[in-house]
Amino acid sequence: EPNYLKRLIKMRKFIRGGKYDSVLAFLEAPCFIATLSGFPFRNWKLVVGERSADPNVFSSLKRRFYRWNHIFADYLVTNSQTNLDLVKKINPIIPERKCRVIYNMLMIDDTTTPANSFSLNGKFKIVILANQRKLKNLNGLVDAVSMLSENDKNRLQIDWYGERLMNDYDEEALKKMKNLGLEGIFTFHEPIKDVEVKINESDAVGLFSHYEGFPNVICEAMILEKPVICSKVSDIPVILKENENGFFCNPGDSNSISDALKKLLAADKKHLKKIGNTNRNLAIKLFNKESIIEKYLKLLNN
C-alpha cells in the first residue's frame, strides 16, 4: 500500500484481528505501526527491534519520535550495545528491564565450511562486501593505501562487491585512486548473493565504515575463519580484540587505517590461521541459531 496512512490502517486491522500471542517488529516504521496497533489496549506481547546506530538520528524529529514510542513496547531489542546506548540517549526514560541486546543470527551448520587459502596467488586479497557510499569510507581507504610502501602495494588486492551509489565523495575517491596510480589494487564488482564463496576466496574481510548497527559481514567472516580488518564501530571493540580476532582502525584517520593494513600484510599465515580459528569459535558462541532463538523465546514467555 503506497499511501502511508492507509498502510498504517490496514496493518493495524491485520494485527488486531490476528489473535496473536506476540508481535515482533524490526526497523523504524514497522515498529511504529506495531506499537500504534496496540492502542488503546492489546492482548499480545510486543517486542520492537532496532538495527541502526546511525548518529544522524539526532537531527531528525521523526526518527527521534519513533524511538520515544518504544516506551509502549514490552521489550526493546537491539543488535548491539552501541545501538541501545543511542536509543537511551534519545529516550532516557525507557526502563532498563525492557532493554535487551541480542546479536544477529547466523545459520551455522556443516555446510558452512571455511577455506583458509592465504595468498596462494602471491597477492593478499581483502574482500569488502558493502554498497559503495560515503558511509563505507572509500575515500579514507584510498588515502590509507596510498601511504603503504611499494612492496605492500604490490602485494595487495582489494575486491569490493556492492551497489555503486555514486556521489561527489566517491567520485573524488575514484579520481584520487587514478591520480595516485592505485587502480590496479582496487576492483569493483556488482552486488552478489554467494557471499560465502567470495569470503572463502579471500585472505581477510574488510569494512572501514564510519558507523554500523552491527555488521553481518563481520559475523560471516568470523564463522568462515577469516581475519577481519575493520573500523572500531558498533560492538566490534567490545567483542573483538586486536591481534586475536583481526586488525582495527579509526575510520576518520587514514593513518590508522594504513597502520592496520601494514599489520595485516606483515602477519604470517600461522598467525592469520590462528585468528581465523579464534573467530569461528567466538561466532559459534555468540551468533548460533539456537542461542538467539532461546533469547527471544525467553522474552516472549517471560
Please report, rounded to a whole number, the percentage of residues in the chain having pLDDT higher than 90.
79
| Residues β-bridged to residue 298 | none
pTM, two decimals, is 0.84
The mean of the pLDDT values for the chain is 91
pLDDT at 186: 96
Please report, rounded to a whole number, the percentage of residues in the chain having pLDDT higher than 70.
94
Give CA–CA dist 192/163, Å, rounded.
9
- Edge-to-edge strand list for the sheet holding 246-249: 186-189, 156-161, 124-129, 204-207, 228-231, 246-249
Q: What does the DSSP 8-state code read for residue 123?
A: S
Q: In this structure, are residues 87 and 57 in contact, taking their beta carbons and an 8 Å threshold?
A: no
Tell me the torsion sign for CA atoms 57, 59, 62, 67: positive
Q: Which residues of 228-264 are buried (b: 16+ CB within 10 A; e: fewer)?
A: bbbbebbbbeebbeeeebbbbbbbeebebbbbbbbbb
Element (H, E) at 135: none
Listed in order, strand segments (DSSP E) in the chain are: 22-26, 45-50, 75-78, 99-101, 124-129, 156-161, 186-189, 204-207, 228-231, 246-249
pLDDT tens for residues 23-65? 999 999 999 999 999 999 999 999 999 988 888 899 999 999 9
Least confident of 119-123, 145-149, 284-288: 119-123
In this structure, the strands spanning 124-129 and 156-161 are parallel
The whole-angstrom distance between residue 133's C-alpha and the CA centroid of its chain comes to 14
